[in-house]
Amino acid sequence: MRFRRLAPLLLILSSALAVLPGAAGASSGSSQRPPPNIVFIFSDDHAYQAISAYGDERKLLETPNIDRLAREGMRFDRCLVTNSICGPSRATVLTGLYSHLNGFVNNSPQARFDGSQTTFPKLLQARGYQTALVGKWHLVSDPTGFDFWQILPGQGAYYNPPMIRQGQRIRTQGYVTDVITDESIAWLKQRDKTKPFLLMSQHKAPHRSWEPALRHLGADGQRVYAEPPTLFDDYAGRGPAVRDQDMTIEKTMTARDTKLTPPPGLSPDQLAAWNAYYDPLNAAFAAHPPTGADLVRWRYQRYLHDYLACIRAVDESVGRLLAFLDEQGLADNTIVVYSSDQGFFLGEHGWFDKRWIFEESLRTPLLVRWPGVTRPGSVNRDLVSNLDYAETFLDAAGVPVPETMQGRSLKPLLEGRRPADWRTSFYYQYFEYPEPHRVRPHYGVVTDRYKLVRFSGAGDDYTELYDRQVDPLELRNLLGQPGYTAVQAELETELARLRRDLKVPATIPEHWYGPRKAN
């Protein structure tokens, strides 16, 4: 049921015949079900390692409410992003298009999302869905396709965040994760209950600089977190891109990152509570300041305590939304999705942040609960992507998927059926350079086992090959090594095919990398 470029116009014209509850197509064999509601919970920089349902060996924290979605739905173990950075990921979610086609390729000051293009909220809205967006937007232009929106300007603030509601600036009080949850539930309470709904509840947390809710300061006491085996990676055997980046715990973290200085925007009472917790810790640090590897270890521990505390509030938020759905009798006909804009490094390779094709950055959490359709406790290991979200939501609602979208609906996978032609390779491309973290532009092909990546656009053009089966930590470039000649040739061919099929331009415009600092 795919259609071409006239489809958005036809859908808008058909809005007068918008779907009434009970009229939209649902999964096969469930024609009597009304169109499902959709709750999309989206966090920022939430590493899959920091969700207990994913079973990270460090056992960093328990996330019982997010885990509930895995227990009652499907956990996707290889959900990959097209471009591991905040704004571009959000643009891909909305459009089902790669960055080079939706136009939002980086987070530079010049980047601005073209809100006139086709998005899945617009298509759902045209078919009778009531649509709302609350929280982080990070696409500069005003949201389109939403009956209601209330967003954080830019990156947003953790405490007492200014927001923009339907174009009007407002000031809120409290912790940002709680505010977004409060506003999401408030909209659900006042929505038109005769219509199916889409709610996109999008968190700032746990984005840098990882500022926890006051109630979660010291939540893990004096716990010493296990270090990843690559915390002190020396980058031997890999090219200049890996060695020359600026995103290490050792060299890049700031005093604000490590809470040696408090964040702005706190009320006097909030600042007093903040200082009551951090001042004694910071005094102990100042009295015996660590150096070298000990300083890295100290920063790693501070980083994880703060980052994971932020996630505690996100998990509580998920619990509150699930409880509301239960209380209102909405859970049985509501698809609930939890995901993040990309993965995040929690000390692996000595890094924080994202951007890379490497696994901790490339892979994002995805958990989906669809009662009556998805078998509880199921696990999927196919290559799926944030590129597929738009198509999935449309398909689930019985709305035709535009042929121009580049992903695929996850609906058959959620139903327990794997199409014979499901993707076995995936294309990735990152553009932003040199600011803010000097990660060189690169693109590559990813399979269940291999990654072939080309670094290009910063003067050092070269290729690397990784085999995750023999090198799961991605420490060895195997390009040209014995036994990999045929693999390399196959991946080169597949990379060329993907670039051709996905309409990737052969030459990247200079401004896609973002503004450069003068030398």
Stretch 7-30: mean pLDDT = 37
Give pLDDT, residue 273: 98
CA–CA dist 307, 212 (Å, integer): 7
Please report, rounded to a whole number, the percentage of residues in the chain having pLDDT higher than 70: 93
Q: In which band, very low, low, confident or very high, does the pLDDT at 13 lie, cut at 50, 70 and 90?
A: very low
Please say which residue of 403, 423, 443 terminates a domain: 423
Please indicate, yes or no, whether residues 483 and 387 belong to a single structural domain of this protein: no
Those residues with Cβ within 8 angstroms of residue 260's Cβ, 6 or more apart along the chain or in another chain: 282, 285
Sheet of 162-165, strands arranged across: 168-171, 162-165, 148-152, 130-136, 197-202, 37-43, 334-340, 366-369, 74-76, 378-380
246 assigned to some structural domain: no
Please report, rounded to a whole number, the percentage of residues in the chain having pLDDT higher than 90: 90
Dihedral angle of Cα 325, 93, 202, 341, to the nearest 10 degrees: 120
475 assigned to some structural domain: yes
453 assigned to some structural domain: yes
Please indicate, yes or no, whether residues 168 and 202 belong to a single structural domain of this protein: yes
Nearest to 207 by CA among 177, 245, 185: 177
Please indicate, yes or no, whether residues 184 and 322 belong to a single structural domain of this protein: yes
CA–CA dist 166, 400 (Å, integer): 29
Q: How far is CA 65 from CA 53, 311, 314, 336, 338, in A?
A: 10, 11, 9, 12, 11
Q: How many other β-carbons are positioned within 10 Å of the β-carbon of residue 331?
A: 18
**pLDDT by residue (tens digit) across 482-508?**
999 999 999 999 999 999 999 999 998
Counting the structural domains of the chain, the total is 2
CATH of the domain at 446: 3.30.1120.10
- What 3-state DSSP class applies to 37? strand
Please say which residue of 423, 442, 465 terminates a domain: 423
Per-residue pLDDT at 422 exceeds 50: yes
Stretch 198-225: mean pLDDT = 98
Pure H helices in 328-429: 359-362, 389-396, 411-414
Give pLDDT, residue 106: 96
**pLDDT by residue (tens digit) across 261-298?**
999 999 999 999 999 999 999 999 999 999 999 999 99
CATH of the domain at 159: 3.40.720.10
Structural domain range at position 400: 32-211+304-423
Per-residue pLDDT at 196 exceeds 70: yes
pTM, full prediction: 0.93
Q: Is 21 exposed, middle or buried (0-12, 13-18, 19+ CB in 10 A)?
A: middle
The number of CA neighbours under 13 Å toward the Cβ of 319 is 11
Please indicate, yes or no, whether residues 402 and 476 belong to a single structural domain of this protein: no
Please say which residue of 391, 423, 455 terminates a domain: 423
Q: In which band, very low, low, confident or very high, does the pLDDT at 517 lie, cut at 50, 70 and 90?
A: very low
Q: How is residue 279 written in tokens? A: 């001042």
298 assigned to some structural domain: no
**pLDDT by residue (tens digit) across 56-115?**
999 999 999 999 999 999 999 999 999 999 999 999 999 999 999 999 999 998 899 999
Per-residue pLDDT at 357 exceeds 50: yes
277 assigned to some structural domain: no
Those residues with Cβ within 8 angstroms of residue 378's Cβ, 6 or more apart along the chain or in another chain: 73, 74, 75, 416
Give pLDDT, residue 23: 32
Please indicate, yes or no, whether residues 323 and 441 belong to a single structural domain of this protein: no
DSSP string spanning 62-127? --HHHHHHHHHSEEES-EE-SS-SHHHHHHHHHHSS-HHHHS-----TT----TTS--HHHHHHHT
Q: In which band, very low, low, confident or very high, does the pLDDT at 516 lie, cut at 50, 70 and 90?
A: low
Give pLDDT, residue 285: 98
380 φ, ψ (degrees, to nearest 5)? -120, 135
